[in-house]
Every structure is written in C-alpha cells, then in structure tokens.
C-alpha cells in the first residue's frame, strides 16, 4: 500500500510512477546537456576546428590559444568552477529528493507540493544558467571586439596580424534550454499524475 501520511513515499499509484519516469528522463537529458559543448570557436590559422569550447563550468582552449592569448580574455574567476559544480550537485540532489518527498510548503496563502517546487526551481535555475552563459559569452566577446556568434576578425596580440574566427552555439546549448523547460513544465503538470496524497 502506498504511504500517504509520511514525509517520504515510495508508492503513489501508477500515475506517480509514470511521472517519476518522465522526471528521470528529463533529469538524464539535463545531465547529458551539461556534459556537451555549448559553444565553440575556430580560429582560422590554428589547426583543428574547436579551438575554444564553452562548457557550463568554463572554457577549454587549445595550447596555441593558451600560449598567445591573455587568460583574462576567456578564463572565469577561480570560484566559478567549484560554484557551478556545486550547483549541479545540489540540482541533482533536489531532483532525486523530488521523486519521493511527500510534504507541502506554504507560499503565502498557497500550499504547494515541495516536490513540484524543487523541480520548478531546478528547471528555472537551469534556464537562468543557459541565459547567463550566452550573456557572459557575448559580454566577453564584445570586450575583445569579436562576435560571440558568427564570423569576426581580431588582431593577434603577438604578431598584430588580422585573424579570422568563426563561432557558433552547439547543440548542447539547445539541449540545456530544452531540459530546463522540460523540468519546469513537469513541475506544472505534476498534479495531473500525483493525486490523493500530501504530495
């Protein structure tokens, strides 16, 4: 029999389990998008195509870029990488907890299932992460006079030659956007699957 009066529940009926499957799928999609490149840039004179690669936790650069470019142009503050990995861990823990928590929280006069609140917060925060990645990338690009998306030219700080760069968003960026939207959407429709309990 499903537990309906405790803090945690492992039951909830077929609807609750269908929702859990959907949530696990959306979570897996978020994890997959987290480890995919979100943006890449190709400098014409450097061999290869992915000379700068943006991930949620920072930018990877090839050796030639590390040697010739000022790290302040692409590197994030020292606290950034630990911060975003902590965020990712907390988000995963919140999504895991939302599979089983069975309590409500008060938001003003409204009582909402804690599980739905957790899922919504993760979805919205991930959408915010996606937006911030674009904003910060565009801000950094403007600072050195290149385009964050598309073709641009810049002066090599060593030789002062004009160099061409081509950059674009990768599919991982769009996957992250869809994953955040999917999680937030699931938080809104959770009540259609999970009924008849405190959750």
pLDDT in tens, 106-156: 878 888 999 999 999 999 999 999 999 999 989 888 877 788 899 887 766
The pTM for the full model equals 0.84
Quick check: is 116 in a domain?
Answer: yes
State how far the Cα of 83 lies from the Cα of 18, in Å rounded to an integer: 33
Query: Could you give the number of structural domains in the chain?
Result: 1
Nearest to 186 by CA among 98, 124, 119: 119
Quick check: is 184 in a domain?
Answer: yes
Containing structural domain, residue 182: 13-139+171-193
Quick check: is 144 in a domain?
Answer: no
Quick check: is 85 in a domain?
Answer: yes
Largest pairwise CA distance in the chain: 74
pLDDT digits (tens, 9 = 90+) for 154-195: 766 555 667 788 889 999 999 999 999 999 999 999 999 987
Quick check: is 1 in a domain?
Answer: no
pLDDT digits (tens, 9 = 90+) for 50-107: 778 899 998 887 666 655 555 556 678 889 999 999 999 999 999 999 998 989 888 7
Q: Phi and psi (nearest 5°) for 171? A: -65, -25
Quick check: is 161 in a domain?
Answer: no
Evaluate whether 25 touches 118 at the Cβ level (below 8 Å). Answer: no
As given in the structure block, the two tokens for residue 121 are 């917060």
**How is the beta sheet containing 162-169 ordered, strand by strand?**
58-61, 52-55, 39-43, 162-169, 150-155
């Amino acid at each position: 029999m499903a537990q309906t009066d405790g803090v945690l529940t492992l039951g909830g009926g077929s609807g609750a389990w269908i929702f859990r499957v959907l949530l696990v799928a959306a979570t897996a999609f978020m994890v997959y998008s987290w480890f995919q490149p979100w943006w890449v840039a190709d400098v014409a004179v450097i061999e290869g195509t992915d000379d700068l690669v943006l991930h949620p936790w920072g930018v990877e650069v090839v050796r030639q870029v590390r040697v010739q470019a000022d790290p302040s142009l692409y590197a994030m503050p020292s606290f950034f990488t630990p911060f975003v990995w902590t965020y990712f861990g907390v988000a995963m823990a919140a999504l895991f907890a939302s599979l089983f928590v069975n309590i409500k929280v008060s938001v003003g006069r409204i009582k909402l299932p804690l599980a739905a609140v957790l899922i919504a917060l993760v979805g919205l925060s991930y959408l915010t992460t996606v937006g911030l990645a674009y904003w910060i990338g565009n801000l950094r690009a403007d600072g050195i006079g290149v385009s964050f998306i598309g073709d641009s030219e810049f002066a090599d700080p060593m030789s002062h030659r004009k160099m061409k760069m081509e950059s674009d968003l990768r599919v991982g960026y769009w996957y992250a956007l869809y994953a955040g939207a999917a999680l937030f959407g699931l938080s809104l429709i959770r009540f259609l699957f999970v009924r008849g309990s405190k959750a």
